[in-house]
Amino acid sequence: MNNRIIQTVFPLVFVLLAMSACHKDLNLRPKYGFNSAAVYDTADNYIHVVAKLYAGFVLSGNEGPAGNPDIADIDEGFSPYLRVYWNLQELPTDAAKCRWNDVGIPELNTMRWSSSNSFVKAMYSRLFFQITLANEFIRECSEENMERRGFAEVDREKIRGFRAEAQWIRAFVWSHAIDLFGGNVPFVTEADGIGANLPPQTNGKELFAYVEQELLSIEDELPAAGTAEYPRVDQGALWFLLAKMYLNAEAWTGEDRYSDCATYVDKIINSNAYSLDPNYKRLFTLNNVNSTEAIFSVACDGAFTQSFGGTTFLVHAFVGGNMNTNDFGITGGWEGYRATKAYTDLFVADSAVSDRFTWHHEGHIQSIDTFDQFDNGWAQAKYKNVFYENNGDTLTPDNYSLNSQVDLDFHWMRLAEVYLMYAECAARGAGSTGQGLNYINMLRTRANEPVVASYDLDFVLDERGRELSWEGSRRTDLVRFDKFTSSSYVWEWKGDDPNGVGVSDHLNIYPLNADDVIANPNLQQNTGY
Amino acid sequence: MNAKHLRPFLTLLLLLIAVISEAQDATLRGLLKGEDGFPLVGATVVIEGSSPLLGASSDLDGNYEIKGIKPGTYNVKFTYIGFLPIQEEMSFGAGETKTSSPTMKLNGVLLSEAVVIGYGTTNSKDLTGSTKVIDQEDFGKGNITTPEQLISGKVSGVQITSNDGAPGSGSKIRIRGGTSLNASNDPLIVIDGVPLDNNSISGAANPLNLINPNDIENMVVLKDASAAAIYGSRGANGVILITTKKGADGKTPFQVDLQQKVSLSTITRKVDVMDTTQYRAALREYGTPDQMAITGKANTDWQDEIYRNALIIETNLGLTGGIKVLPYRLSFNYKDENGVLDRDNMKRYAGGLNLTPKLLNDHIAIDISTKYSITKSVFADKGAIGSAISFDPTQPVYSNDPELNGGKYDFPSDYDRFGGYYEWVRPNGNPDPLAVRNPVGLLYQRDDFGNAERFIGNAKVDYKLHFMPDLHLIVNVGYDYSHGFGTVTVSDSAAGSYIQGGRQERYDQIKTNQLLESYFNYKKEIESIKSSIDLTGGYSYQFWHRETEAFPVLNIAEDTITPPGIPGWNENALISYYGRMIYTFNGRYLLTATLRQDGSSRFAPENRWGLFPSLAGAWRISDEAFLKDSKTLSYLKLRGGWGITGQQDFDNDYPYIANYQTSTPTAQYLLGGQYYNIFRPDGFDYNIKWEETMSYNIGIDYGFFRDRISGSLDFYLKNTYDLLAIIDVPAGVNFKNEILTNVGSMTNRGFEFEFNAIAIQKKDLQLDLGANVTMNQNEVTKLTAVADSNNVGILTGGISGAGIGNNVQIHTVGYPTNSFYVFEQLYDEDGTLLENEFADLNGDSVINQDDRYHYKQSAPQMYLGFYGNLRYKQWSLGFNLRSELGRYIYNNVRSSRAYYNAIPSQNFLVNLHEDFLEDQVIQTSTNQTLSDHYVERADFLRMDYLNVGYDFGKVWGERMHLRIGAAVNNVFLVSTYSGLDPEISGGIDNNFYPRPRIYSFNLNLTF
C-alpha cells in the first residue's frame, strides 16, 4: 500500500518539479535605485540628476568620499573632475610640481606624457561622463517627453531651467575638450542614445562653433546675472564662459575673437551683479561662500559633499614638511606640490606686502633640485579650511576631526579674472588699455601691492600668474601666450631637463585617450602622439 | 536479517571464550590461487589487530603459514597486487589450526572504483573524460584547515596556492590555467551534490574553511570539458566534487573515531631589513641632520615583536553506525588555530550529520547530508606586517622610557597618549598622518572580531522504480546558508584613529543559495547487441541571494564618522536542463555525450540561454584480444574529448540593466541652500552574454605489471572566446568609460602526466609513490572589438611603494595574462645598477610609458608534485613535494623600500630594505619602481609535509585501536627568490603574511 503511494506520488512529484521551471525567475532586478526609464517619470527626480551634473565636478562617485566611482581605471580619489583638471592645468607648467610617484604624475611634471597617461585618460573620461549624462538628461527634458509624461506647466517651467543648466554644464565641459584636446574628440549630442553607433570625430573649429551656438541659445533661459541660487549658474556664468572662449579663440581655432571677449566681459561688469571681495586671502577660506566676486563656484562640504578631489585635495595636497597644519584647519597635509623658482620669482618683488604672496618658504630652497623632497621649491599656503576672522584668527569646522574632509568652496570663475580678461583684450587691441590698467590696479590694490603705471601683454600673463595662482588656469594662459612649449620661457624640469628646455609644439594639446582611439576607429590621434 | 545483528554479540561471546580459555597459540595456513588456478607467489596475508602484527607471504607454490596466533577473533587480510583484497573474519581457539585458501579475483579494477561524476556515478574504467579521484588515504597530512589543501600537489593540472599563512586562509585554485580575465577563474565546488557559493563570506577568512576537512571521504576533480560540461556554464574552470563520509551499513559495528592534534607553528624567515647598526650607518652616510636628530636609542627588531610561535589545537570526533535501515555518521570538529602574527586566531566549531537510509527493499535511497559550522576569528591587523618592515629600528616599542625614545615624550602623560606605544608625532602633539604606525600598536589597539556561520544541507531521494528497476528518479534539494557578522573597533588612543577619536564599524551579511533539481538515470545492459547504455537527464534551479546591512561608522564616543550607506541586496538565478548518455559497446568502446542548457538571470532575455555540449570517446585497448594476455601492459585506455563550457560568474548581478543609483548621504550636492542626493546612471551592456570555452583533450590511461605502475597522460587545448573583460567603450555612448563586455579570446594549452607506482609491496614493507607534471601555456589572442596593433593591452597588478595606481602587469594580445610590463634597467660595465636609467626601447629619446616592455609571466609554466607513502611494520611515513618552474615574481617589498629617499627629509624615519646597500638607489621614482630589476625568478621546490605514524594496533582490549603520528608542514623551501616566499599567487610580493612551518602531533583512537 505504502509502496503504491510512493510509486505514484514520487514520479508525480518528479514530473511536477521538472515542469515547475519558471523562466520568469530569471527576470531579476536591482532592489535599490531606479529603472532608467522610470526615473524621469517623476518631476521631483529631475533636480537629483541636475545635482549629479554639478556634483560631477567635485565628487568621485555616488559614495562619499569614495567607494562607488563614476569612472574606472584611475584611483578613485584622483578621479574627480576638478582634481584631474587642476593637475593637467598646473603640473606641466611653471606653477606646480608634485613629488608623488602616483601613476601619471611624474610624466605631467616633466612633460613626458604619452597617450596612455592615467590623468589624461581620466580627464577624457570625466569630460565624457558629464557629456553623456547631460545628453541623456537634455534628451529626457525635451518638450515632447514632458508632454508625453503629462507634466504640469509649473513642472515644465522648472525642468526647462534644469535643461538650460545642463546645457551650460555640457558647454563648459566641451570648452575644456577644446582647450585640453584641441577639440578633436568624439562628438555626441542629445540626439545620440546610449549604446548608439560610434561617434564621429569633430575638431576645434566645429566644436567651438557648436558650443558658442549652444550658449547663445540658452542665454534667455538662465536667470539674470547674480540671481541664481548659490552655487547654480546664471547669465553671469554664461557670459564668463563665452568671454573665456573668445579670449582663447585665436589659440584654439586660429580666429581672433578678442573684441567678442571684451563685449561679454563688459556685459558681466556692467551687470553690476559682482564686486571684488575686499580681502584676497579670505577668498580661499571658509568665508568665501557666496562671495560677491564668485561667478561660478563648486561647493564642497565636509559632511555632505565628501571626496578626495575637491577642496579636500586643494587644501591637503599642498601642505607638508614644517608647515603648521593648524593654520590650514587640517591635521595633516599630503606633502605633494611645490612651485618652480621661475614661477615664485613672479611674486618676489612685492613679497613683503602682498596678500598674493602666499608662499611658504621657511626651510625650503626656492628651486626644485631633488624632485622627491618636499622642501625643494616653495609651497603654496593659499587654500585653507578655516574661517578667516579678524585678520588672522582661525577656526576649524567641527566635522573635520571626524572625517578629514574640507568645507571650502572653490570659485572656478570670479570677477578678478574678468578684469584680467579685459586688460588682456585691451593690450591685444580690443579695448581701452587705460581701463585695463585701472582693473589691474584694482586687483593690486586689493592685494596691498603698489599700483603700476602701465602694462603690456606679458605683464598680463604675469599678473594672471599672481592673481590666479594655482587656480587651474596656468596651462591655458601659457598656451595662449605661446610660452607653454616654446623655448621663449623655460622653468626647471620643463621638457625633463633640470634647467628647462623648449619642447615640441604638439604638447600644447593633450593626446586623446589611447584606449578610446582603439575603441572608436573613427578617431585619429592628435598629431605628434 | 536478524542474524546480521546477532553477529557482534556472537563475536563478543567468542571473544569472551577466547579470553577465558587458556592462552595457547593457533595457526593459520592455506594456498592462494588466482581465478585461473595458478598459484600466487608473494601474496600477503596479515592477521590484523594482532600484536605484534603477524603475517606471511605465500611461497613459490602459493602456500603460506602463520603461527603463534593468540586465540581471538581477527580480520585476516589477503592482498596481492593487481587482485582484489579479501578480508575474512576468523576466530581462533587455543591451539587450533585453521585453513583458509580463498581464490583471489583479478582486479582489472585497481583503477576501477565507483567515481562520482556530476549527477551520478560511474566506474573509473568507464570514464571518457579527464577525471581524477583523490581518496582519503592520499590526502595531505599535518595541519590542514581548509579542504582544498587536502589535494594540493596531488593532481596534475591543478595548482593550489594558499593565499598566505593566516589561520584558515583560502587558496587560489587553478585547474589547467585561468580561462578568464574579469570573470571568475575558480573551479566550481560541489559538495554532496550542492554547488557552493564560493564567494567570500564577511567575517570568515575563507568560505571553504567552514567546511571541516575531516568530514571528507574523497574529492574528484573534473578537468576537461567532457567531464565538466554537465555543469555547463560553471564548468569552464573545472569542477571539484567533494563527497563527505557517510554512515556504515548495518553490518559494521558502531564505531567511534577520535582524533586529537596539537601543533605549533613558527615563521621560517624574516624580511631582510636593516638592523640598527646598518641603519645608523646609512643615515650617517646619506642622511641629513634633521634625520639624524630624530633617531632613537633603542634596538628593536620589529618583526620579532609581531610574530610569535603559535599553538593550534584540533579535536575531531566521528561516530559511525547504523540503526536498522538508518546508517548514520555524526561528526564534530573543534579547531583553535593561532596565527604566527600576534593576536590572529580562528576558532571553528563544526558538526555534521549524514543519514543514508534505504527504504522499500532498497527501492528508495535517501541521502541526507548536513553540515553546520561557526568560525570565530580575531583578525590581526595585517598592516602590522608592512609596518614592522618599515618602522625605524632605533625606536622603542613603548614610549615610556626617556632613555630610548629620543626625549620626544617629556611628560609621563605623553607616554600614554597612544596607549603607551611609541608613535611619530607632530609638534602640535598629533600623530604624524603620513608616518608609519607602531606595528605592535596596530595589533593591540584594534579589535577585529569576525564571526561566520554556515549551513550546508541537502536531501537526495533516489527512487528505483518498482516496475522498471533500471530507471531511477532522483530529487535533490539543497540549501547553503551563511551569515557573517562582526565588529572592528579601533581604540581612540590608536595613532591612526587618534584624530577621529577611535573607530567602530559593524557588518552583517546573509547569503543563501537554494538548489532544486530532479533528474533520472537509466542504466541498461543490452547483451544482444553487446551494448550498455547509461542515460541521465534532468532539470536544476539554483537561486542565490546576498544581503548586507548598512551601518554607520562611529568613533568611540559614538559620533558619526560616516552615516550608513545603501544596504546591499543582490540576487541571481540559474535554470538548467541537462542530459548525458554513456554508451559502451563490447565492453571496451565508450562514448559519452552531454548537453546542458543554462539560463542565467545576469543576461538579457535574448542572450540568456547558453547551450553547452560535449562529446568524448574512449577505447580500452587493453581489453582487446591482442593485449589481454600481456604480462607487462595491464591497462591501456585511449581517451578523446571535446566540449564547450561557459562562464557567467562575475561580480555584477545586473550588468545588462540600465539603472540609476541614489547616492549615500555623504555624496550629496548643495543647490540653493539644500543638499540633494544625486542620481547616477550606471554603465551597462545590454548585449552582454556568456563567455565560452571550447576545450579539446586527448589522453591515455595506462597500467603496467598488474597496475603496479599506473597513470595517465593528457594533452589539452582550451580556447576561450567572447571573453568577459573590462575594457574601454567608445566615449560618449555609455555612462562609464569602461564596462564589462564580451570581447577577445584566449588560449590555454598544456600537457599533464601522472605516474603512480607501488614500488615495494611486502608483508612488512610497502612503498607507494606518485608523481605528476603539468605544463600550461596561456596566451591572450584578442582583446578588442576591432583589432588594433597599437593596443598595448589592459594594465593590471597594482603595486605599492612609489605612489598610487601604478601597475606592473598587463594583459596583451600575444602574451600570457598578467605578464610583467616594466622598464629595462640599465647597468654599468661592473653590473652596478644605474639609477633611473632605462633603455629607450622606442628610440624617441623620451623615457615614458611607451618604453615599457613585456617581461616574463607570473603563472608557472610547469608545476610538479611528488609524493609517497612508506609503511614498515607498524610505522608509516608520508611526504609531499611540490615544485613550480618558469614563474616570476615582482618583489614589491624590495622595490618600495630599497632606496634612500623612502626616508622622508624630516618629521619621521622609516627603515630600508637591506638591498639598498647593494643597489644604492637614492630617489623615489615611478619608473625605477617599475624596473625589471625587481622582477625575480621564483621557481621553487617545497616539501608540503612530512609525517610519521605508528600504529599500536589494538590496545586496552580488543576494540580500541590506537595510532599516533607526528608531522611537519612546510618542511623546507628551495628557491633562488630573494624574498620571503616565492609562492605568491598573482606574482606580486608585498607584505606577505609568512607561511609558517607547523609541527604537529596527533593521536587517533578508534573503538
pLDDT tens for B25-35 read: 888 888 888 77
When scoring B660, B735, B788, B809 by the number of chain A Cβ atoms within 10 A, the one with the most, hence best to mutate, is: B660
Q: What is the mean pLDDT of residues B385-403?
A: 90
Instruction: Count Cβ neighbours within 10 Å for each residue of B765-780 and write b for 16 or more, e otherwise.
Output: ebbbbbbbbbbbbbbb
The answer to whether residues B930 and A346 touch, using CB atoms and an 8 Å cutoff, is: no
Listed range (A257-271, A468-482, B23-37, B924-938) with the worst mean pLDDT: B23-37
In this structure, the number of other CB atoms found within 10 A of the CB of residue A41 comes to 14
DSSP at A362: T
Q: How far is A16 from chain B (nearest CA, A)?
A: 10
Pull the grid cell for residue A436. Answer: 585695463
- The pLDDT score that the predictor gives to residue A18 is 61
Report the half-sphere exposure of B616 (CA within 13 A, side-chain side): 34
Contacts of B927 in chain A (CB under 8 A): 106
Contacts of B850 in chain A (CB under 8 A): 114, 116
Instruction: Count Cβ neighbours within 10 Å for each residue of B588-600 and write b for 16 or more, e otherwise.
Output: bebebbbbbbbbb
When scoring A3, A9, A17 by the number of chain B Cβ atoms within 10 A, the one with the most, hence best to mutate, is: A17
What is the spatial distance between Cα B183 and Cα A125, in angstroms, rounded to a whole number? 24
pLDDT score of B7 more than 70: no
Q: What is the mean pLDDT of residues B721-727?
A: 91
Instruction: Count Cβ neighbours within 10 Å for each residue of B74-99 and write b for 16 or more, e otherwise.
Output: bebebbbbbbeebeeebbbeeeeebe
Contacts of B926 in chain A (CB under 8 A): 101-103, 105-106
Q: How far is A400 from chain B (nearest CA, A)?
A: 9
Q: Is B434 in contact with A51 (Cβ distance < 8 A)?
A: no
pLDDT score of A523 more than 90: yes
> Across all residues in chain B, what is the average pLDDT?
89
- CA dihedral of residues A245, A246, A247, A251 (deg, nearest 10): 80
What is the spatial distance between Cα B737 and Cα A132, in angstroms, rounded to a whole number? 10
Q: What is the mean pLDDT of residues A452-467?
A: 97
Using pLDDT thresholds of 50, 70 and 90, give the confidence band for residue B706: confident
Q: Is B467 in contact with A51 (Cβ distance < 8 A)?
A: no
- The pLDDT score that the predictor gives to residue B110 is 44
Using pLDDT thresholds of 50, 70 and 90, give the confidence band for residue B401: confident
Q: How far is A19 from chain B (nearest CA, A)?
A: 9
Q: Is A18 in contact with B539 (Cβ distance < 8 A)?
A: yes
Q: Is B430 in contact with A331 (Cβ distance < 8 A)?
A: yes
Q: Please report, for chain A, how many H helices and E strands are present, in that order.
A: 18, 9
pLDDT score of B868 more than 80: yes
Contacts of A335 in chain B (CB under 8 A): 434, 904
Instruction: Count Cβ neighbours within 10 Å for each residue of B514-542 and write b for 16 or more, e otherwise.
Output: bbbbbbbbbbeeeeeeeebbbbbbbbbbb
In this structure, the number of other CB atoms found within 10 A of the CB of residue A5 comes to 9
Higher pLDDT, B527 or A164: A164
Q: How far is A425 from chain B (nearest CA, A)?
A: 34
What is the spatial distance between Cα B409 and Cα B428, in angstroms, rounded to a whole number? 13
Contacts of B669 in chain A (CB under 8 A): 51-52, 54-55, 59, 299, 304-305
Alpha helix stretches (DSSP H) within B623-763: 625-628
Q: How far is B600 from chain A (nearest CA, A)?
A: 6
What is the spatial distance between Cα B167 and Cα B339, in angstroms, rounded to a whole number? 5
The H or E element spanning position B989 is: strand B988-989
pLDDT score of A314 more than 50: yes
Pull the grid cell for residue B610. Answer: 547558453
Amino acid at B449: F
pLDDT score of A21 more than 70: no
pLDDT score of B994 more than 60: yes
Radius of gyration of chain B (CA): 32
- CA dihedral of residues B655, B657, B658, B663 (deg, nearest 10): -70
Q: How far is B42 from chain A (nearest CA, A)?
A: 52
Q: Is A6 in contact with B673 (Cβ distance < 8 A)?
A: no
- The pLDDT score that the predictor gives to residue A444 is 98
Q: What is the mean pLDDT of residues B367-390?
A: 96
What is the spatial distance between Cα A134 and Cα A194, in angstroms, rounded to a whole number? 12
What is the spatial distance between Cα A385 and Cα A58, in angstroms, rounded to a whole number? 16
- The pLDDT score that the predictor gives to residue B465 is 87
Contacts of B668 in chain A (CB under 8 A): 51, 55, 64, 304-305
Beta strands B239-244 and B188-191, pairing class: parallel
The H or E element spanning position B159 is: strand B158-162
Q: Which of A21, A100, A331 minimises the CB distance to B539?
A: A21
pLDDT score of B17 more than 50: no
- Bridge partners of B327, per DSSP, are B322
Q: Is A55 in contact with B669 (Cβ distance < 8 A)?
A: yes
Query: Rounded to whole angstroms, what are the CA distances from B247 to B60, B320, B700?
Result: 41, 5, 35
Q: Is A34 in contact with B660 (Cβ distance < 8 A)?
A: yes
Contacts of B598 in chain A (CB under 8 A): none
Radius of gyration of chain A (CA): 26
- The pLDDT score that the predictor gives to residue B954 is 79
Q: Is A55 in contact with B668 (Cβ distance < 8 A)?
A: yes
What is the spatial distance between Cα B803 and Cα B782, in angstroms, rounded to a whole number? 31
ipTM for the predicted complex comes to 0.96
Q: Is B360 in contact with A64 (Cβ distance < 8 A)?
A: no
When scoring A24, A127, A372 by the number of chain B Cβ atoms within 10 A, the one with the most, hence best to mutate, is: A372
Contacts of A320 in chain B (CB under 8 A): 434
Higher pLDDT, A268 or B844: A268
Residues contacting residue B156 through CB under 8 Å, at least 6 positions apart: B132, B712, B714, B752, B753, B754, B772, B773, B774, B865
Q: Is A112 in contact with B569 (Cβ distance < 8 A)?
A: no
Handedness of CA A267, A272, A273, A279 (dihedral sign): positive
Contacts of B555 in chain A (CB under 8 A): 402
**Reduced DSSP (H G I as helix, E B as strand, rest coil) percent helix, strand, coil of chain A, to 5:** 50, 5, 45
Q: Is B499 in contact with A521 (Cβ distance < 8 A)?
A: no
Strand order in the sheet with B72-79: B54-57, B44-48, B72-79, B86-92
What is the Cα B105 distance to its own chain's centre?
Answer: 38
pLDDT score of B6 more than 60: no
| Best CA proximity match to A34, nearest among B397, B394, B659 | B659
Local structure of A474: helix, strand or coil:
helix
- Per-residue pLDDT of A145-173, as tens digits, reads 999 999 999 999 999 999 999 999 999 99
Beta strands B255-266 and A337-338, pairing class: unpaired
Report the Cα–Cα distance between both ends of chain A, in Å, rounded. 86
Q: Is A33 in contact with B601 (Cβ distance < 8 A)?
A: no
Listed range (A67-76, B59-68, B765-774) with the worst mean pLDDT: B59-68
E-strand stretches of B783-858 = 794-798, 807-811, 819-822, 825-827, 833-838, 853-857
pTM: 0.89
- The pLDDT score that the predictor gives to residue B13 is 44
- The pLDDT score that the predictor gives to residue B250 is 59
Q: How far is B992 from chain A (nearest CA, A)?
A: 22
Report the Cα–Cα distance between both ends of chain B, in Å, rounded. 25
3-state secondary structure B718-752: EEEECCEEEEECCCCCCCCCEEEEECCEEEEEEEE
What is the spatial distance between Cα A517 and Cα A483, in angstroms, rounded to a whole number? 29
Q: Is B904 in contact with A374 (Cβ distance < 8 A)?
A: yes
Residues in chain B: 1007
Q: Is B807 in contact with A103 (Cβ distance < 8 A)?
A: yes
Q: Which of A32, A51, A78 minimises the CB distance to B805?
A: A78
Local structure of B419: helix, strand or coil:
coil
User: What percent of chain B lies above the pLDDT cut of 70?
Assistant: 95
Q: Is A97 left (phi over 0), alpha (psi -120 to 50) or beta?
A: beta
Q: How far is B671 from chain A (nearest CA, A)?
A: 6
What is the spatial distance between Cα B333 and Cα B350, in angstroms, rounded to a whole number? 5
- The pLDDT score that the predictor gives to residue B837 is 93
Q: What is the mean pLDDT of residues A292-315?
A: 95
Listed range (A211-215, B789-793, B831-835) with the worst mean pLDDT: B789-793
Higher pLDDT, B15 or B941: B941
- Per-residue pLDDT of B548-586, as tens digits, reads 999 999 999 999 999 999 999 999 999 999 999 999 999
Q: How far is A195 from chain B (nearest CA, A)?
A: 5
Using pLDDT thresholds of 50, 70 and 90, give the confidence band for residue A46: very high
Q: Is the peptide bond before B213 cis (omega within 30 degrees of 0)?
A: no
pLDDT score of A12 more than 90: no
CA-nearest residue of chain A to B686?
A195
In this structure, the number of other CB atoms found within 10 A of the CB of residue B784 comes to 19
Q: What is the mean pLDDT of residues B120-144?
A: 87
The answer to whether residues B278 and B917 touch, using CB atoms and an 8 Å cutoff, is: yes
Pull the grid cell for residue B60. Answer: 613459490
Q: How far is B693 from chain A (nearest CA, A)?
A: 23
Q: Is A114 in contact with B848 (Cβ distance < 8 A)?
A: yes
Q: Is B664 in contact with A62 (Cβ distance < 8 A)?
A: yes
Q: How far is B716 from chain A (nearest CA, A)?
A: 33
- Bridge partners of B321, per DSSP, are B328
Pull the grid cell for residue B766. Answer: 610497502
Using pLDDT thresholds of 50, 70 and 90, give the confidence band for residue B16: very low
| Best CA proximity match to A439, nearest among A457, A470, A458, A415 | A415
Q: What is the mean pLDDT of residues A460-472?
A: 98
- The pLDDT score that the predictor gives to residue A20 is 61
What is the spatial distance between Cα B282 and Cα B295, in angstroms, rounded to a whole number? 12
CA-nearest residue of chain B to A19?
B539
CA-nearest residue of chain A to B427?
A324
Contacts of B790 in chain A (CB under 8 A): 514, 517-518
Contacts of B847 in chain A (CB under 8 A): 112
| Best CA proximity match to B734, nearest among A120, A197, A122 | A197
Q: How far is B842 from chain A (nearest CA, A)?
A: 12
pLDDT score of B787 more than 80: no
User: What percent of chain A lies above the pLDDT cut of 90?
Assistant: 85
What is the Cα A311 distance to its own chain's centre?
Answer: 11
Beta strands B114-117 and B120-123, pairing class: antiparallel
Using pLDDT thresholds of 50, 70 and 90, give the confidence band for residue B304: very high
Q: Is B569 in contact with A32 (Cβ distance < 8 A)?
A: yes
- Bridge partners of B615, per DSSP, are B593, B642
Using pLDDT thresholds of 50, 70 and 90, give the confidence band for residue B924: confident
Residue that the C-alpha cell 561528526 belongs to: B331
pLDDT score of B1 more than 60: no
The answer to whether residues B883 and B411 touch, using CB atoms and an 8 Å cutoff, is: no
The answer to whether residues B721 and B699 touch, using CB atoms and an 8 Å cutoff, is: no
Q: Is A129 in contact with B676 (Cβ distance < 8 A)?
A: no
- The pLDDT score that the predictor gives to residue B792 is 85
The answer to whether residues A283 and A293 touch, using CB atoms and an 8 Å cutoff, is: yes
Using pLDDT thresholds of 50, 70 and 90, give the confidence band for residue B724: very high
Alpha helix stretches (DSSP H) within A254-371: 258-270, 311-316, 341-348
Q: Which of A27, A39, A67 minimises the CB distance to B679?
A: A39
pLDDT score of B132 more than 60: yes
pLDDT score of B672 more than 80: yes
What is the spatial distance between Cα B325 and Cα B425, in angstroms, rounded to a whole number? 72
Q: What is the mean pLDDT of residues B602-630?
A: 91
Q: Which of A54, A370, A373 minimises the CB distance to B669?
A: A54
Residues contacting residue B256 through CB under 8 Å, at least 6 positions apart: B317, B318, B319, B320, B1005, B1006, B1007
Residue contacts between A and B (CB atoms, under 8 Å)? 365
Q: Is B473 in contact with A61 (Cβ distance < 8 A)?
A: no
